[in-house]
Amino acid sequence: MADPIITQAQVTQRMVGLRPYLAQIEDIEEIIADRLRGTIADFQRELQMCVVPTVIKQGPADDEVEGVDYDLREPPLDWDRHHIGQLPSFRMRRRPIISVEKIALKLSEDYDLFQFPPGWYTQHIQRTLGIVSVVPVPVAGALLDTTGNMIYAWMMARTPWLVIPQAVIVNYTAGFANPATNPALDDFRMYLAEATALKVIGDIRDMLPSSVSLDGASQSFDTVQQRLESRQKDRDQFFKDWKLQHNPAPMVVI
């Protein structure tokens, strides 16, 4: 199992004044773990990214099982001549890209037209933006056969359709190496802990009185919640900055 992105201790650090009261809740660890999973999913969806290395297959083999042989299945991509121009370029749904294992054109769910040689794309991956370009160059021992060349030329220039839906299969791995310590994720981990703490407070605030005291110290749940909510603008700016830096600009067809 991969190391956690953040620990439960990093979440409770954002609620340090409430720790004595959180300890009174029998299943607090399960509450935090559940909310942490949900917050990670929210952040990944908002930022269109994967945090931990994730094996994604758009065209798994018949004997491969999701959750065993790979982590996630996606539908294939469209072959879109509006966007690809002279050279095919495909935008992955999740980023950053760690590696690309396969790119193929398919005729149906069960029949690949042909598979691109790795030498056509391995040096043309914009990993942060999640974009893979295909540059046809001679590769010893990996050239398309005659039928493949004919089909490729037809799809590039002669097909009457500008868009062929779900005609491209890309199997790839997305995410960050060592997400618990990767410096590129410092802000991500901080805001993730704060957002998780805010969700935990929302879950448990009705389990204890709104203001409690222990050993002469008192701390309002509302006060902690307001302090975390005050960081919402900072978190929104973080999302905005992340998208500008890591996500490709939206395409517009004129």
pTM over 0.85: no
Q: Give the residue from 140, 174, 208 where a domain finishes.
A: 174
Could you tell me if 30 and 58 lie in one domain? no
Same domain, 46 and 75: no
- Given 139, 174, 209, the domain boundary residue is 174
Residue 72 lies in a domain: yes
| Residue keyed to tokens 């001549």 | 81
Give me the pLDDT at residue 222, please: 77
pLDDT at residue 25 in the model: 81
CA angle (72, 88, 147) in 5-degree steps: 95
Beta strands in 68-222 (DSSP E): 72-73, 77-80, 89-91, 97-108, 111-115, 125-126, 131-133, 163-174, 211-214, 217-220
Taking only the tens place, the pLDDT of each residue in 35-91 is 999 999 999 999 989 999 999 999 898 899 999 999 999 999 987 765 555 677 899
* Domain stops at, among 174, 208, 233: 174
Domain match, 59 and 44 both: no
What distances in angstroms separate CA 54 from CA 49, 175, 177, one per listed residue? 10, 6, 10
192 is a domain residue: yes
Looking at residue 142, what is its pLDDT? 46
Residue 155: inside a domain: yes
Asked if residue 101 belongs to a domain, the reply is yes
The total number of structural domains that make up the chain: 2
Residue linked to tokens 């999740």: 94
Between 235 and 144, the higher pLDDT residue: 235
Residue 3 in any domain: the answer is: no
Q: What is the model's pLDDT at position 253?
A: 46
Percentage of the chain surpassing pLDDT 90? 46
Per-residue pLDDT band at 138 (split at 50, 70, 90): low
pLDDT at 119: 87
**2: in domain:** no
Do 64 and 126 belong together in one domain?
A: yes
- Specify whether 19 is located in the same domain as 59: no
Identify the burial level of 148 via C-beta atoms within 10 angstroms of its C-beta, where 0-12 means exposed, 13-18 middle and 19 or more buried.
middle
Helix axes 186-204, 221-229, angle to 10 degrees: 150
pLDDT of 147 > 70? The answer is: no
Task: Mark whether 108 and 95 lie in a shared domain.
Answer: yes
- Within-domain flag for 116: yes
3-state secondary structure at position 174: strand
Using pLDDT thresholds of 50, 70 and 90, give the confidence band for residue 157: low
Residue 174 pLDDT: 96
pLDDT digit string, tens, across residues 205-225: 766 655 555 444 345 677 888
- CA 70: distance to chain centroid? 15
Question: What is the pLDDT of the chain when averaged over all its residues?
Answer: 81
Same domain, 149 and 44: no
54/58 Cα distance (integer angstroms) = 13
Domain ranges, residue 120: 54-174
Whether residues 157 and 122 fall in one domain: yes
Q: In this structure, is residue 138 part of a structural domain?
A: yes
User: Is there a single domain that holds both residue 100 and residue 76?
Assistant: yes
Question: What token pair was written down for 18?
Answer: 């409430």
pLDDT, one tens digit per residue, over 164-212 is 778 899 999 999 989 999 999 999 999 999 999 999 988 887 666 555 5
The pLDDT of residue 114 is 80
Q: What is the mean pLDDT of residues 234-241?
A: 93
Do 217 and 148 belong to one domain? no
The answer on 59 and 170 residing in a single domain is: yes
Check whether residue 116 and residue 218 sit in a common domain. no
